[in-house]
Amino acid sequence: MSSPALLSPFTVSGLTLKNRIVVSPMCQYSAVDGVVTDWHLVHLGRFALGGAALVFVEATGVEARGRISPGDTGIWNDAQARALARIAEFLKANGAAAGIQLAHAGRKGSTRRPWDGGVELNAEDAAKGEPAWETLSPSAIPFSDTYPKPRAMNAADMAEVIIAFREAARRANDAGFDVVEIHAAHGYLLHEFLSPLVNHRTDAYGGDLQGRMKFPLEVIETVRAVWPAHKPLFLRVSSSDYVDGGVTIEDTVAFAKAAKALGVDVVDCSSGGNTPVPPKLYPGYQVPYAEAVRKGAGVATMAIGLILDAELAETIIASGKADLIALARPALEDPNFAIHASAALTGTPDYGLAPTPAKSGLDRLAQALKHMAKA
């Protein structure tokens, strides 16, 4: 019986991942002044213990006005980076590569945490010590009636954001991360520039696709220039806006091809987020995007979106539709997804996917169960 493709190693740039299972960035809205806490260490650390090859820290603001909410993680100062370094160290010490997603929320920032309604911050929030901040976007178009109206960015704003991404990448490297992912999806700033639904600019950064790609590509080029050549650079995209006149998969393939030329190693293919219009959800619903980008742009891709079981994940990798599988909610429900995937695909759980302490503990448990069965 051949070994499952899902459990095979994957080498990208100078990094070899022990399998194809990646834990996707998942916002926890639980940081304090952008600083991660023990919550984040435990939340992320359990995925390394469960055998995932690469674990990403959530969307992390490159500047304060780039947060979604006051609870977002940040990497715009050294104190935040020092706290993140503890997480990177733990992940790597326990068998997983450490990744971090660098993000700017754009017009979708300055909002309450989701469990507080997710709407625009107001005077009531300010009285509690969480004041609103000015949001930025390529054009002054709010996401919805419950979101703040952003200010259209000028040349100085764009220069500041590029510097913020550059310095965030430097801090991420100093903090010990193996992978950086640039967030250009889900209706956040870089996706806003890419989408004609939001980008109504008449200067060099608007208009046709070449103009709309200009700013995101400048960010990619700047990050790649300071991110070590032997460390992979990922890029998350929203492959489709799901509405007429928005980003199409053809646009995304062209963007991915240009990003690859600047040094992007893996394109993480998500979708939606620039409008309240939801996609039609079904298992693996975004996999065709990963396949299209992989073939059309000639770049490695990561598939994500309701990949709920090992069998579907295996099919995606084995058939060449994507190179990596990213899990969010399935990983939350089962932090040991990789170990359980080995059991589902081979008939035997591979406890070697987990680090030695966990392996020893599981071995002792297995031995105890055997003794109980004989008693």
pLDDT over 70 (residue 368): no
Mean predicted lDDT score pLDDT of the chain: 94
For residue range 289-304, what is the model confidence (pLDDT) as tens digits? Answer: 999 999 999 999 999 9
For residue range 119-161, what is the model confidence (pLDDT) as tens digits? Answer: 999 999 999 999 999 999 999 999 999 999 999 999 999 999 9
Cβ-Cβ contacts under 8 Å for 80 (sequence gap 6 or more): 34, 35, 36, 73, 74, 171
Number of H helices and E strands in the chain, helices first, is 12, 12
pLDDT over 50 (residue 371): no
- How far is 354 from 372, CA to CA, in rounded Å? 25
- What is 5-374's CATH number? 3.20.20.70
Q: What average pLDDT does range 217-227 have in this prediction?
A: 98
Distances (CA, A) of 228 to 15, 222, 224, 267: 12, 12, 8, 18
Q: What average pLDDT does range 173-190 have in this prediction?
A: 98
More confident residue, 362 or 328: 328
For residue range 223-269, what is the model confidence (pLDDT) as tens digits? Answer: 999 999 999 999 999 999 999 999 999 999 999 999 999 999 999 99
pLDDT over 80 (residue 357): no
- How far is 246 from 194, CA to CA, in rounded Å? 9
pLDDT over 50 (residue 41): yes
Distances (CA, A) of 327 to 15, 44, 56, 224, 338: 20, 13, 10, 25, 11
- How far is 260 from 255, CA to CA, in rounded Å? 9
Paired tokens of 205? 């950064």
For residue 188, indicate whether it is catalytic.
Answer: yes
User: To the nearest 10°, the Cα dihedral for 27, 166, 195, 320?
Assistant: -70
Q: Please give the model's pTM, rounded to 2 decimal places.
A: 0.93
- Tell me which of 29, 147, 188, 242 is the catalytic residue: 188
- How far is 288 from 272, CA to CA, in rounded Å? 14
pLDDT of the residue at 280: 86
pLDDT over 60 (residue 369): no
| DSSP structure string for 14-36 | TEEESSSEEEPP------BTTB-
Cα 101 from chain centre: 5
10: helix, strand or coil? strand
Tokens 């489709």 belong to: 240
| Contact between residue 270 and residue 236 where contact means Cβ atoms under 8 Å apart | yes
| Contact between residue 250 and residue 162 where contact means Cβ atoms under 8 Å apart | no
Paired tokens of 300? 């490695």
Amino acid (1-letter code) at residue 288: P
